[in-house]
Structure 1
Amino acid sequence: MKYITLTNKHREIHLQISYNIILTFLLSVLTSTTFAQTGIIKGTIHTQNNRPAKNVVVKLNGSKEKEVDSLGRYEFHNLEAKSYEVTVKHISFASQVSTIHLKAGETRILDFILEDDKKTIQEVLVSAKKPIVEHQLSNSLRVQVPLLELSQNVQTINSEVIAKQQAFNLSDGVFRNISGVSRQTHWNDMYVNIHMRGSQIQAFRNGMNIVSSFWSPLSEDMATVERIEFVKGPAGFMMSSGDPAGIYNVVTKKPTGIQHAEVTMSLGSFENYRSTLDLDGKLSKDGKLLYRLNIAGSSKASFRPNEDNKRLVIAPVLSYKLNNKTIATFEYTYQKAKMTDVGSGYVMSPNGFKSLPRETTFIQKGTQPFNVDEHSTFLTIEHQLSSSWKFTAQGSYFNYNQTGASSWPKDIFPDGKVIRKSDIWDAKSTMVLAQAFLNGDFETGSVRHSVLAGIDLGSKDYIADWNQSIVLDSLNGGEFDPKNPVYGFDFGPQSFDRSLSLEERAARGGGSMNTKYSSVYVQDQLGFFDNKLRLTLAARYTSMAVGTWGGTPIKNDKITPRVGVSYSIDKNTSVYGLLDQTFLPQQGILFDGSKVKPITGNNYELGLKRDWFGGKWNSTLSFYQITKNHEITSYGPDPKMSVEVGQKKIKGIEFDLRGEITKGLNLIANYAYTDGKVSKVNEGVDQFFVGQILDGADKHIANLWMDYEISQGNAKGLAFQLGGYSNIDRATEYYSQEFKERNIEDYFRFDAGMGYRRDKFSINLNVQNLFDKYLIDGGSFYTDYFNTAVYSWQAGAPRNYRLSFSYKF
């Protein structure tokens, strides 16, 4: 088409015109299609808490049968005009039968709401194992189509995997169950900073973007988490203002309506102690008012001296069913963290990576502890307008308060000795978020439409004081020697000046960030040939104003189109292609004084998805290329000063395989090849070079997890676990043209464990870093910060164990 050869200035206009022409043409053709004279019976089956039912068998006249899809939908085609008996069966619910008379060419909708079967033994339900394969997105990801039909790569980690691997916090590495995902370790387990496809990805919770600054949010406790969804590449149906690498969405636990209680006690290396309580059930006899309560408390030290970390989380959830069509859910989560002065994980030396023992720390015991209080609330209302249309509205409020300090050297000398300091870091964040969206299904002739339309609103404010420092060591003999550490204060007790309010201190030091945005989104997935071929056409308009370092907010707006195609080769196999765009307004002070532009990004992707053996395990293979323009980054010792690099390109291959391979044997395996480089450097930028590997773009990431549970005989319930994790040809941050080699060694970690599960009781032991290797979790090279150039790295923990006991009642 001619418009492809036009200049960049006109491409967006012509892309939008082409999109409108295609949509108009398709609708004009489709609406002219006439209905066949055979009839259709279809509907949706929900549980009492208004969730799509799973594993339900629908029978027609006692013979012809179908199982509902992942959204609880069923459909019978090509039916003659006569009476039909529709029977719905599920092992855990009472069977239901309905008779319907179908006329010639008629489409009848017949929905069901399943009710508890009083004869069902509840203990069997409670102790049943949950499969590790998910076939549908959570409601919070809005797109109500099965994963197999979605023209995008989305991978999920559910609570069953989290429990088996004994991940207590999101920073514990549970994200390694997804191809190409890694963590650039920073500030211990306070924040996660997950990287994927060569960039740090956006953090979502229950479908809302909860990033209020570069460092947030506080890492989630896994006691509250039902699943974690990784959406790879831009996700126009969720956002257009973000990094094109993708997002991760933490879905918290909600009431199920099934009476359940579980208590878990855990202990482990480095004085690691933890207790959790999970309560789930009904508060009213009629089942309209449901509740869920999760409480977790933990305390741990570290393999490094002088560290301490305590956490508390309380998360009550109430769900009320107003009627058969409307349900409201209120959720409150309180997280409390008290830990050592953050930054204790960083080790720095001019003599190369691993030139100091892995137990080395610059942290001085006796400095002010770091305290965080985070309150968050969600109110969600779901209303089923009809069997085909559903409206969802959600509002959220976050309040985050922090007092404490971060440790960072004041200077490092050629002999490796250090002048240590502690920098104040008091901060406060508030976020008010709202969204509303409409899902619907309808047909025009023989074409099925799955429609999504919605609006997103948000206001985020972050203020911080990081403008005071306390120096711990003196010159001329008082320097800290990491090879012969002697801890103490050279200047006696010191404290930060907090006589002014945080607002005043933040204003004085330029420590404020704020974001306001509004966005409207429309998408139609058109299904052709009995929904075997699916075409997605969508567009999002976003207006966003971003301010950082106390500067005046810069406003940008943009329309980002989305085009996707998915084709089902058979009922278990599909191929897809995707073109999606994103943009991200950014704020900073450029060295040359020019205006900061928003990041723009494109993602082109092809993929193959397949379910195996009735959906017991599945696989996804994807190929992608992402282009990012205008991204700015800090330049030199002043983090407030930035430079626009030019252009970055990331291309790669990702493969995920997971499921129950044979009875009792579960496997999670993934591999990612990532080629992320600087493809263009603007004139006058000497810190970067064409071909430079991007931070967070390790070339090869491969992970494997296997667990086998004996299902019969005297050893029934005995389980064995094995995991291997690797990062090869790794990437690091570059602050010098001289440091072009990636000399962080490859990462290989092996874990193993065993467990036993019988009836209501289970015990699980995991040993991490089984071969006790000195591992580097992440590293950088600095030239401008200190008296001499230094290597910086964070060591992984030595061999350690976790032992958990659980009881369900």
Structure 2
Amino acid sequence: MQFSSPRFLLASASLAALGATFALPGAAVAEPSSNNTDKEVTEITVTGRAQKLYRVSETSVGRTSGDPLDIPQSVSIINEALMKDQGARDMTDLYRNIAGITQFSYSGVTFRGFRQDQVFYDSLHGNPFIAFSVPKLFNIERVEVLKGPAGMLYGPGEPGGLINYVTKTPTEDFNASATLTGGNYNRYGASGEVSGALNNSGTILGRVGAFYENMKPFRNNTHEKSLILDSGLTFKLGEDAKLITQVTHYDQKMQGARLRGVMTDDDGNFLTDISWNANEATDFLNLKATVYQARLQAQPTDNISTEVAVRYFDAQERQQYHEPRGLVDTDGNGTLDSSLRELRDQQRDTDGMTLSGTVTIDQPIGGMNNRILVGGDWYRENADFWAHTVPNGDVPVLALENPVYGLSGAQFYDLDSYALRTTESRSTRYGFYIQDQLHLSDKWIAVAGARYDRYDDENRLTGDGFNDGDWALRAGLIYQPQDNISVYASWSESFEPQGIGSQDVLAGGPFNPVTGQQMEAGIKVALLGGRVQANAAVYEIKRQNLLQLDPNGNSSDGVDDLAPIGEVTSTGFELEVAADITDYWVVTANYGYNNARITDTVAGQSLTNAVGDRFANSPKHQAGLWTRYEFAPIDTTLAFGAEYVSKRLSIDGQTVRPYTIFDTSLIHQLNEQVSVMLRVDNLFNKEYAASGFITRDGHFPGEPRTAFVELRWKL
């Protein structure tokens, strides 16, 4: 792929110059990774987080161990210490720490300009938070973000990147902790976990944990209850192998959900109070899910590491909610004062299983260090859905000002008298890949890999199906003028099978997958013994073969013809810095610039989630700051954060206004085991929209000022 953007070429040259500037005499060497057999195959030292408190020494997102200076792609890691300092409960609390990511809706994000929601757990498929539920963080040790297409490593997926959640596992040493939480909006909760050896020889390790939280958020009629039960066993199978098992159960009850937004005018001003909610108190969104997982890790020889894993989940999401259907003028004064609504009664049942295996081989070639990664995975997901819909003509409207609730709800209707809509689908994915990382010299490293995937999608009600296969490639070249500086360039691919509903032969199908290609250039540095760590990158992503109506097609058969004539080009720049300014003062900051535009389409047509030639909820500028200072003489830590997101457009082209919000945490250590934290989000109570949607649903309002106190005990 060629780069036609002068700005991209200029930025690449600037990064190279930046690398030369950072090549300081006597700069400390970054800590190298180790292939010690006592360490898992996923361990590396990660730049881009503070050296001490927020430093992360291992990652699994690249499917193999290695120094991040040897990885020709952007990676961001958030560890448990940062999550605790920020009082993070779910993934939406963490976006501000990652350049290139902002909120879209529910668990979906805008990632380098593109909407997507793909996540992995321990590098495995199988997300139990289906559809409209947001992943919780209680049993998560760290969050890893691989930016750009990851098709060579992970198979079909979106080109912006992927999020990998690394779950907690049993520890060898005995650990125990507990927390009590209380705050505004009737928030209270508790959690606890215990981990350690279960026998004298230390060959069996165990962990159990539980989390519960109750809250009545700021939206009318809402009430949330979350329960997580997590347990795991690790069996040491000799010196060089272990079996890690885990069972996790999630139970979320959300009254007054599924939440939609609050209506705005075209300039992005809310038309009523942000507490407005189209849902009744009898509406709900309930999720129950159970996950089973096992991983066998072994190192049969000094130069070979292996992992075989299986993950299965079974989830049910039950919903009854009121969907806004547009505004009306009820009193004839020319002002749209109320929302039409329909009642939706729905259920989603989803189960999935994945099998994965990897082998890492360190085998020198001609005196040059060489690492080969070979792997494969298989994933199958069954998704069933049914729904009744009560149309807006049968449901009372709801006023924007002084809404009167209690006049609608499932109890008012004979739901079985309304048409039942059902779908049943099955998707199967499996692929095989190989990657080679060759140290050409002390300063040059080459990385290249290829993967082939097969996919099989089936409509189990009609028997219609589609299957095909495709390749995804990855290549990179790294130059290290010093051990603590890495300048790289890479090219990577991804692809996404077209939806089964679009493969109809009457519509012109079957169609080739949507493809993504990225060129990225960057620099990573670890200066002053790792006290200052930074990475910067420029990128260009092209996403092609998006389907649109074919202007030359024939619809005489009753089905509109489609054609893969859509293309989007996303260019951007990202910077992440972490610095230990003193032994007690830590600063992390990030900035992302993105320009995602439609570069090929049919006149008069627009791609999904696009407005004109721009994409919805895609800001040009985004920035985050977090700083923490420890006042050691009084055992107190003060932290402060900020988030900025520039103007965006909603799916229907309404303005989503820019915003800047601030947060703070105050942590006091009462004694060696007990601490207390005061956390305040949106410190100055800024009213803002976290993201936009469609006109009739409005924008998703950000939370007003929230505060809670957490009492922590750790043995």
Confirm whether residue 524 of structure 1 aligns to residue 436 of structure 2: yes
**How far apart in 1 are the matches of 2:358 and 2:417?**
46
Residue equivalent to 2:75 = 154
Are positions 1:438 and 2:359 aligned together? Answer: yes
Q: Quote the residue 1:66 is aligned against.
A: none
Task: Please show how residues 499-648 of structure 1 align to structure 2 within 5 Å.
Answer: 509-530=421-442, 532-547=443-458, 552-587=464-499, 589=501, 593-595=507-509, 596-632=511-547, 646-648=566-568
Cα displacement (A) at 1:328: 0.3
Specify whether residues 733 and 170 from structure 1 end up closer, same or farther in structure 2 by C-alpha distance, changes over 3 A only.
same
1:420 to partner: Cα distance = 2.2
Counterpart in 2 of 1:106? none
Indicate conservation of the 8 Å contact 1:548/1:587, yes or no.
no
| Maintained 8 Å contact 2:42/2:58 | no
What's the counterpart of residue 304 of structure 1?
A: 219
Q: Which string of whole-angstrom CA distances, capped at 9 and with x for unpartnered residues, describes residues 732-783 of structure 1?
A: 213xxxx4xx62210111112211124111111111111111111111344x
| Equivalence map 1:348-747=2 (5 Å) | 348=263, 353-367=269-283, 369-414=284-329, 415-469=336-390, 479-489=397-407, 493-494=411-412, 497=415, 509-530=421-442, 532-547=443-458, 552-587=464-499, 589=501, 593-595=507-509, 596-632=511-547, 646-682=566-602, 685=605, 692-711=613-632, 713=633, 715=634, 717-734=635-652, 739=653, 743-747=655-659
Separation in 2, partners of 1:536, 1:399:
38
- Where 2:245 maps in the other structure, the secondary structure is strand
Match of 1:262 in 2: 177
Q: Does the Cα contact within 8 Å between 1:210 and 1:217 map onto a contact in 2?
A: no
| CA distance 1:134–1:695, shift in 2 (3 Å) | same
- 2:663 maps to which of 751, 756, 764: 751
SS at match of 1:257: coil
> Which of 203-212 and 595-604 deviates more?
203-212
Asked whether the equivalents of residues 545 and 553 of structure 1 are also in contact (C-alpha less than 8 Å), the reply is: yes
Opposite residue 605 of structure 2, the aligned amino acid is: V
- 2:387·2:422 contact (CA, 8 Å) conserved in 1? no
1:424-478 CA distance string (max 9 Å, x none)? 121100101000010110112221111100011011111111343375965xxx5
Aligned partner (choices 753, 765, 768) of residue 678 of structure 2? 765
Task: Tell me: CA distance 1:158–1:151, structure 2 relative to 1, closer, same or farther (3 Å).
Answer: same
Q: Does structure 2 conserve the Cα–Cα contact (< 8 Å) formed by 1:424 and 1:496? A: no
Task: Decide whether aligned partners of structure 1 residues 616 and 136 sit closer, same or farther in structure 2, where only a CA change above 3 A counts.
Answer: farther
Which amino acid in structure 2 is aligned with residue 277 of structure 1? G
Q: For 1:201 and 1:645, locate their aligned partners in 2 and report how far apart those are by CA, in whole Å.
A: 24
**Distance apart, 1:350 and its partner CA:** 5.8
Distance 1:4 1:419 in 2: 50
Deviations 1:295-322 (A, max 9, x none): 1001111112211110100110110001
Greater relative CO (CA pairs within 8 A, separation 6+): 2
Cα separation, 2, equivalents of 1:180 and 1:569: 28
Whether the 8 Å CA contact 1:264–1:806 is kept in 2: the answer is yes
Name the CA shift for 1:296/1:495 in 2 (closer, same or farther; >3 Å).
farther
The amino acid that maps onto 2:704 is P
Encode CA deviations 1:474-497: one digit per residue, 9 max, x unaligned. Answer: 5xxx53211121112268933565
Compared CA separation, residues 791 and 281, structure 1 to 2 (3 A): closer
Does the 8 A contact of 1:137 with 1:147 survive in 2?
A: no
Letter in 2 for 1:577: A
User: Any idea what SS the aligned residue of 1:583 has?
Assistant: strand
Q: Once the 2 structures are TM-superposed, how far is the Cα of residue 217 of structure 1 from its aligned partner?
A: 7.8
Change in Cα spacing, 1:749 to 1:161, as seen in structure 2 (3 Å) is same
1:333-361 CA-to-partner distances (Å, cap 9, x unmatched) read 10001111423342235675312111211
Compared CA separation, residues 690 and 762, structure 1 to 2 (3 A): closer
Q: Secondary structure of 2:656's partner? A: coil
Say yes or no: does 1:176 pair with 2:96: yes
Residues 254-278 of structure 1 deviation map (CA, whole Å, 9 limit, x = unaligned): 1221111000111122111121102
Query: What CA distance in whole angstroms lies between the structure 1 residues aligned with 2:461 and 2:65?
Result: 41
Determine which structure has more spread, i.e. the larger CA radius of gyration.
1
Pairing partner for 2:36 from 45, 54, 58: 45
Preserved contact between residue 132 and residue 659 of structure 1 (Cα < 8 Å): no
Q: 1:793 to 1:644 in 2, by over 3 A?
A: farther
Superposed CA deviations along residues 672-717 of structure 1, whole A, max 9, x for unmatched, are 0000011111366367889621123210001101111123x3x1x2
Work out whether residues 761 and 806 of structure 1, in 8 Å CA contact, stay in contact via their aligned partners in 2.
Answer: yes
- Which residue identity does 2:126 align to in structure 1? I
**How far does residue 406 in structure 1 lie from its aligned partner after superposition?**
3.2
Q: Structure 1 residue 799 and structure 2 residue 714: aligned?
A: no
CA contact (8 A) 1:616 1:661 kept: yes
Distance 1:303 1:224 in 2: 26
Aligned partner of 1:774 in structure 2 is 687
Contact 2:258–2:319 at 8 Å: present in 1 too?
A: no
The 1:701–1:456 alpha-carbon spacing in structure 2 relative to 1, beyond 3 Å, is same
Give the Cα separation in 1 of the matches to 2:492 and 2:576: 22
Return the match for 1:285 from 195, 200, 207: 200
Give the letter for the 2:144 counterpart.
Answer: E
Question: What's the secondary structure of 1:420's corresponding residue?
Answer: strand
Asked whether the 8 Å contact 2:447–2:475 carries over to 1, the reply is: yes
Distance 1:803 1:471 in 2: 43
Listed one character per residue, the Cα deviations across residues 239-260 of structure 1 (whole Å, up to 9, x for unaligned) are: 2311111100000111221111
Give how far 1:372 is off. Answer: 1.3
**In the superposition, relative to structure 1, how do residues 255 and 526 fare at CA in structure 2: closer, same or farther (>3 Å)?**
same
Structure 1: 5+ residue stretches without partners: 6-41, 55-68, 72-128, 187-191, 783-789
| Preserved CA contact (<8 Å) 2:543 2:567 | yes
Distance 2:458 2:470 in 1: 18
SS in 1 for 2:692: strand
Q: How many residues align?
A: 659
Asked if structure 1 preserves the Cα contact closer than 8 Å seen for 2:650 and 2:692, the reply is yes
TM-superposed CA distance for 1:548, in Å, is 6.3
Name the aligned partner's letter for residue 239 of structure 1.
Y
TM-score normalised to the size of structure 1?
A: 0.76
Q: What letter is aligned with 2:150?
A: A
* SS in structure 2 at match of 1:209: coil
1:589 is displaced (CA, Å) by 4.4
Distance 1:655 1:396, change over 3 A: same
Deviation at 1:581, TM superposition (A): 0.8
Quote how far apart the aligned CAs of 1:44 are. 4.0
| Separation of aligned partners in 1, 2:349 and 2:325 | 26
- On the 8 A contact 1:212/1:461 being kept in 2, the answer is no
Residue matched to 2:12: none
- In the TM superposition, what whole-angstrom CA distance separates every residue of 1:355-407 from its partner, at most 9, and x where no partner exists? 2111211221123x332110111110011111110111000111001222233
Corresponding residue for residue 167 of structure 2: 252
Is the counterpart of residue 185 in structure 1 residue 105 in structure 2?
yes
